[in-house]
Amino acid sequence: TQLLEQSPQFLSIQEGENLTVYCNSSSVFSSLQWYRQEPGEGPVLLVTVVTGGEVKKLKRLTFQFGDARKDSSLHITAAQPGDTGLYLCAGGDSGNEKLTFGTGTRLTIIP
């Protein structure tokens, strides 16, 4: 069974600060996705990375896939209250048939 560990589990910071959350595994994934989930709703896809070392930017969010495709990070610059939510990483298996989700990072941005 492939496992994805996310850290930190909880993070609470002031508006305007920068932060990084991590997604780590001992397994290799063919692709890595990041989702954000609001309370009472389903997860919403933010980004998909497929190449080792790939970096993608989405406004103030920067996503990186590790060179060995075993880990990923999400960096948020100048965090805003609207960034509050549960961030989930998910790795695709070799056939891109099944997704394994990480344990999640619950982020709170304090105005």
Applying CB under 8 A, the residues found at the interface with another protein are 1, 4, 6, 9, 30-31, 33, 40-45, 48, 50, 88, 90, 92, 96-104
Q: How far is the CB of 48 from another protein (least distance, A)?
A: 6
Q: Which is nearer to another protein, 9 or 80 (CB)?
A: 9
Report the alpha-carbon distance of residue 85 to residue 67 in Å, rounded: 27
Q: How far is the CB of 66 from another protein (least distance, A)?
A: 16
Which residue do the tokens 């997860």 mark? 43
Q: Which is nearer to another protein, 15 or 23 (CB)?
A: 23
Q: Which is nearer to another protein, 4 or 79 (CB)?
A: 4
Q: Where are the beta strands (DSSP E) in 1-111?
A: 5-7, 10-14, 19-24, 31-37, 44-49, 55-58, 61-65, 71-76, 85-92, 99-101, 105-110
Q: How far is the CB of 10 from another protein (least distance, A)?
A: 10
Report the alpha-carbon distance of residue 13 to residue 81 in Å, rounded: 10
